[in-house]
Amino acid sequence: MTSLALEMCASRLLGAYFGTSLFIWGNLIGLILLYLMVGYFLGGRIADRYPYTQVLCVITAAAALSIIIIPFVCQSILTWSVTGLEQVSVGIFLGSLVGTMLLFAIPVILLGLVSPFAIRLITSDVKKSGRISGSLYAISTVGSILGAFLPVLWLIPTFGVRRALLIFGVVLFAASLWGIFPRWRRATSLLPLPAVIILLVAALAIPLGPLKEIPDLIYEQESFYNYIQITQTPDGTRQLILNEGQAIHSVYNPNNPTQLTGWYWDYFLAAPYFNAGFKPDQLKRVGIIGLAGGTVARQFSQVYPQVQIDGAEIDPAIVNVGRRYFNMNEPNLHVYAQDGRTFLASSHQKYDVVAIDAFQQPYIPFQFTTREFFTQVRDHLSTTGVVALNTGHTAHDYRLVQAFVNTLSTVFPNVYVFNVPGTINTEIMATMQPTSLETFRSNLSQFPVDTTLGQLASEVLPVATRGHTDGGIVFTDDKAPIEQITDQLLLNYILQP
């Protein structure tokens, strides 16, 4: 139970600093398997030499103590892994590797000693060794199931990842003491419950502070889906930061009514202007997949006051944060706390614009990248509808952008690309009707430069280009290597001079 719980908690700890890319999962799973291998090997040898229950319980007690230490040292070690190693260009892959080694090597190796040790202790008859080991592994698997589900479904969302580690460490330590001191076993067949309760209360009461220290932090929360942080800069601007913090997912300044942000979110507002003769009051309904704290919804509400907005956000905790800290309370906004694709499947609405800005950093969830998904989007667009999505590139690598252009071109007649200056963001838009850049420029150029839409035109028109297919990869539900391409982009970004 503790071994699996440690692995689940480790993924959440690393995610807050390094994200959840395949690099990170590969490091975590590979190193834990390596540590277990070392533990299995050493456990068999030690068990043959010291086949005593108390020796086993001393080992598990040491493992428990090493787990209990993790919540108090993880912030320093992981912060150093990110910042200290970054200065010598080690990068995210080796940074997470070092962090995992320093935090989890000792407890996982010690826990790996247990299985061969336990088999040695309970096998007194070789003729029954198969049945005994089978029963032991069955019991072990029950523990693994508990270790997988308890932290994910209850402990981490309720108490946080560090307190979850403390709870498992305390329970394992209490069980170890029960095995070390025989008189406890003679006095009761149960664990010393009062002592366990005291230790658990202490674990829950110890002040730990935020999981990750960042400047101007005003709120943090661990939800089922994300590690959520809110910052507020001295000028009052609030930012929504998720997980490893390499991207800002929403911004809001209650003291500044400016409708444009100067970031990629603004580009979504330009999507309807590919249609000839489009006027702002013609925009009736917008669908947003990846609502976050509601920046795009707020912009549409300000620029197009008559519009109705349906927003899908999979994490209810982010919805609550959006309402509390980002004023995501527009009366025209209808929020759906569910996966965006499920939201579309159950919706009967037609949208003039569908805006897609969903990320589980650093990836766009694959289900929002495929031909089948964009066909579903097309079925929910009005006759003059437009789909717009945010993706990324590096200085010289646009393969992810090109893959989206190829995929969208199989569903829509025209695709357009906007590489946002000074960022790694690319906006891609596709239209239901045959359209042109000339119409887009003509529609937006009609607004005076001192208006919001005039300022928007000055942002988007200089970078608007038509997307062209290159015969390359098309994402489908069966094959969408979004993680592989994104990881290659990351690796190229890390290795570039």
Active site (catalytic) residues: 357
Strand partners, 241: 229, 248
In contact, 361 and 242? CB cutoff 8 Å: yes
For 438, counting Cβ atoms within 10 Å of its Cβ (0-12 exposed, 13-18 middle, 19+ buried), the class is: exposed
Which amino acid is it at 319? Answer: V
Angle at 41 between CA 36 and CA 47, to 5 degrees: 115
> Of the candidates 93, 113, 88, which has an alpha carbon nearest to the alpha carbon of residue 35?
113
Beta carbons within 10 angstroms of residue 260's beta carbon: 16
Please write down the HEC assignment for all residues of the chain: CHHHHHHHHHHHHHHHHHCCCHHHHHHHHHHHHHHHHHHHHHHHHHHHHCCCHHHHHHHHHHHHHHHHHHHHHHHHHHHHHHHHHHCCCCHHHHHHHHHHHHHHHHHHHHHHCHHHHHHHHHCCCHHHHHHHHHHHHHHHHHHHHHHHHHHHHHHHHHHCHHHHHHHHHHHHHHHHHHHHCHHHHHHCCCCCHHHHHHHHHHHHHCCCCCCCCCCCEEEEEECCCCEEEEEECCCCCEEEEECCCCCEEEEECCCCCCCCCCCHHHHHHHHHHHCCCCCHHHCCEEEEECCCCCHHHHHHHHHCCCCEEEEECCCHHHHHHHHHHCCCCCCCEEEECCCHHHHHHHCCCCEEEEEECCCECCECCHHHCCHHHHHHHHHCEEEEEEEEEEEECCCCCCHHHHHHHHHHHCCCCEEEEEECCCCCEEEEEEECCCCCHHHHHHHHHCCCCCCHHHHHHHHHHHHEEECCCCCCCCCCCCCCCHHHHHHHHHHHHHHCC
